[in-house]
Amino acid sequence: MISSKITGTGTYIPSLIIKNSDFLNEEFLNADGSTFAASNDVIVEKFKAITGIAERRYAPEEYKTSDIAFFASQKAIEDANINSEELDYIIVAHNFGDLKKGAIQGDTLPSLASRVKNKLGIKNPNCVAYDVLFGCPGWIEGVIQAQAFIKAGIAKKCLVIGAETLSRVIDKYDRDSMIFSDGAGACIVEKTEEKESGILSHASQTFANDEAYFLNFEGSYKKEEDQNVRYIKMLGRKIYEFAITNVPAAMKSALDKSGVEIDDVKKIFIHQANEKMDEAIIKRFYRLFKKRVPKDIMPMSIHELGNTSVATVPTLLDLVLKGKINNQEVNKGDVIMFASVGAGMNINAIVYKF
C-alpha cells in the first residue's frame, strides 16, 4: 500500500530574543481604546501564567517570510539527503505573505512557494510551487495534501514549509501582541511502500459560521493611529472555548480511522498557541477514551519560541527529532499525532508512525 513518510526536517529559528520584560513599557489598550486598570507588570505576569510564554523570537529586518522559509527548506532537503530537482511539489503555508517591517501591505505576488523554488535554484518546471492559506493548521494541511498527491501517483517527493513573520502584523497597543513570533519549519514528504509506516490517517474541518472571524485583520486599538493599517486580532476566550471542544473530537476522528489504540500514541505535537489551552485539549482528548494523560506526551516549545502559527508544529517536530528538547524523543516504530487549530476556523490532525 502506498503511503507517505517524512524523511527530513529543518527549521529556522531567529536569533533575536524578545523577553516578556521588553513589554513592560508598552501602552496596552482595550479594543475600544480605553486603558487597562492593571499595571503592565501585572498584565505580563498573568500573560505568562496563562500562555506559558516567557520569550519569543523576531526575524532580522533584512529577512522576509520567504527567506526564512528557504532557510528551513535547505535544512530539510539536506536532512532527507535528496536532490532538490527531484521535488514534485513545494507547498508553503503562511498567512500574510512577505512582510517588510513598517510596510502596510503583505506581498504574495509571486507566491512564496515560487520564491522559495527560485531561491533553491530549481530548474525543473514540473516541480509545482503553490501556497496554502489555512490559518495555523496550514503546515499540517500541506502535509495532508502532499500525501494525497503521492497516493494519487502524481508525486514522489514534496517539500512542505510553514513560515511566518507575525512580529510585523502585531498591534503594539494590543496585549495579545506578546503571543506572536517569527520562525519557519519544513519537511520532506516522500512516497513509501513500507507497511504500517508514515501517515496512517488524518482529519480536517472548517467551521465558518459564527466562528469565521474569531481571528481577523483590524485596525489598531490606538484610535489615533491610521485605521487603514491592519493587524492580527483574535477573540481569545471564544477561540479557547472553540478549541477545547472541537480539537479533541477531530483528533479522535483521525485516531479512530487509523486503527491505532490510544495507549499506543507516544507523542502529540500540537500547535503551540497557548499552554493552558493545549493542556486542556489533550486532557479532553484522553477523556474521550476514559484515559488519563500520559507523562511527557506533549512536547512544548512555546515557552521560548512563542506562537509562530504555521511554523510551530514542524519546528517542534524538528527540535524533538534533533534531540533539542529535554526528556522528549521519537523512536522507530513510535506512533505520534499532529494537531492544530486556527483562523478559518480550521482544525486538522494526522496520525503518523515512524
Residues 55 and 176 in one domain: yes
Residues 178 and 206 in one domain: no
Catalytic residue ranges: 136, 271, 307
327: domain range? 199-353
Residues 47 and 149 in one domain: yes
Taken in order 250, 254, 257, 260, the sign of the CA dihedral is negative
Residues 146 and 33 in one domain: yes
Residues 213 and 153 in one domain: no
Residue indicated by cell numbers 504574495:
108
Residues 184 and 37 in one domain: yes
pLDDT (tens, 9 = 90+) of the chain, 354 residues, equals 678 999 999 999 999 999 999 999 889 999 888 888 888 889 999 999 989 999 999 999 999 999 999 999 999 999 999 999 999 999 999 999 998 877 767 889 999 999 999 999 999 999 999 999 999 999 999 999 999 999 999 999 999 999 999 999 999 999 999 999 999 999 999 998 777 789 999 999 999 999 999 999 999 999 988 888 889 999 989 999 999 999 999 999 999 999 999 999 999 999 999 999 999 999 999 999 999 999 999 999 999 999 999 999 999 999 999 999 988 999 999 999 999 999 989 999 999 999
Give the orientation angle of helix 275-287 with respect to helix 40-51, to 10 degrees. Answer: 30
Quick one: which of 119, 96, 17, 92 has its CA closest to 60?
Answer: 17
Can you give the CATH number for the domain in which 235 is found? 3.40.47.10
Q: Which of 178, 195, 212 is the last residue of a domain?
A: 195
Residues 340 and 244 in one domain: yes
- Looking at residue 352, the DSSP 8-state letter turns out to be E
Q: Which of 145, 164, 195 is the last residue of a domain?
A: 195
Residues 166 and 257 in one domain: no
Question: Looking at the 3D structure of the chain, how many domains does it have?
Answer: 2
Q: Which of 139, 163, 195 is the last residue of a domain?
A: 195
Query: What is the gyration radius of the CA atoms in the chain, in angstroms?
Result: 20
Residues 182 and 60 in one domain: yes
Per-residue DSSP letters for 31-98?
Answer: TTSPBPSS-HHHHHHHHHHHH--SEEEE--TT--HHHHHHHHHHHHHHHHT--GGG-SEEEEE-SS-B
